[in-house]
Amino acid sequence: MARPRSTAFDACHAAVPAMLFAGVAALSMLAVHPVLVTLSLSGALAFSLVARGAAATVRGLAWQLPLLVLVCLLNPFFSASGSTLLLKVGPRSVYLESLAYGATMGALLVATVLWFEDAAAVLTQDRLLALAGRRARSVPLVASMAAQLVPQMLGRARSVRAAARACTAAGPRPPARAELLRTSTMLLSWSLEDSLERADAMRARGWESGSPRTRYRPERFRARDAVAAAGIAALLALGAAGAWAACSSWEFYPRMSGLAPWWCYLPFALLALLPAVAELAARWAERGEAG
At 48-77, the pLDDT tens digits run 999 888 998 998 888 888 888 888 888 777
Domain boundary pick from 204, 235, 251: 204
Cα–Cα distance between 140 and 34 in angstroms, integer?
Answer: 38
Confidence at residue 133, expressed as pLDDT on a 0 to 100 scale: 61
Phi, psi dihedral angles at 225 (to 5 degrees): -70, -40
On whether residue 108 sits in a domain, the answer given is yes
On whether residue 260 sits in a domain, the answer given is yes
Please, what is the Cα angle at 17 between 4 and 264, to 5 degrees? 125
If one compares 20 and 95, the residue with the highest pLDDT of the two is 20
Nearest CA-CA partner of 271 in 57, 111, 132, 54: 111
Q: Is the pLDDT of residue 253 over 70?
A: yes
Q: Under the phi-then-psi rule, with left for phi > 0, alpha for psi from -120 to 50, and beta for the rest, what region is 199?
A: alpha
On whether residue 94 sits in a domain, the answer given is yes
Residues 285 and 165 in one domain: no
Is the separation of the CB atoms in 41 and 273 below 8 Å?
Answer: no
Number of domains in the chain: 2
On whether residue 217 sits in a domain, the answer given is no
Residues 189 and 47 in one domain: no
Q: Which distant-in-sequence residues (6+ apart) come within 8 Å of 205 by Cβ?
A: none
Residues 200 and 124 in one domain: no
Confidence at residue 134, expressed as pLDDT on a 0 to 100 scale: 60
Domain boundary pick from 170, 204, 238: 204
Residues 260 and 243 in one domain: yes
Is the separation of the CB atoms in 47 and 258 below 8 Å?
Answer: no
On whether residue 282 sits in a domain, the answer given is yes
If one compares 208 and 123, the residue with the highest pLDDT of the two is 123
Average pLDDT, the chain: 83
- Measured distance between the N- and C-terminal CA atoms of the chain, rounded to whole angstroms: 31
Residues 122 and 18 in one domain: yes
Cα–Cα distance between 235 and 273 in angstroms, integer?
Answer: 12
Cα–Cα distance between 264 and 243 in angstroms, integer?
Answer: 7
Handedness of CA 153, 156, 161, 164 (dihedral sign): negative
Residues 126 and 141 in one domain: no
Is the separation of the CB atoms in 19 and 229 below 8 Å?
Answer: yes
Rounded to an integer, the average pLDDT of 142-169 is 77
On whether residue 218 sits in a domain, the answer given is no
On whether residue 114 sits in a domain, the answer given is yes
Confidence at residue 198, expressed as pLDDT on a 0 to 100 scale: 81
Residues 126 and 145 in one domain: no
Q: Is the pLDDT of residue 193 over 90?
A: no
Residues 128 and 142 in one domain: no
On whether residue 192 sits in a domain, the answer given is yes
Residues 168 and 230 in one domain: no
Each residue's pLDDT tens digit, 83-135: 788 777 777 778 888 888 889 999 999 999 999 989 888 887 777 767 766 65
Residues 117 and 254 in one domain: yes
Nearest CA-CA partner of 18 in 102, 103, 122, 145: 122
Residues 119 and 16 in one domain: yes
Residues 96 and 20 in one domain: yes
Give the domain extent around 173: 137-204
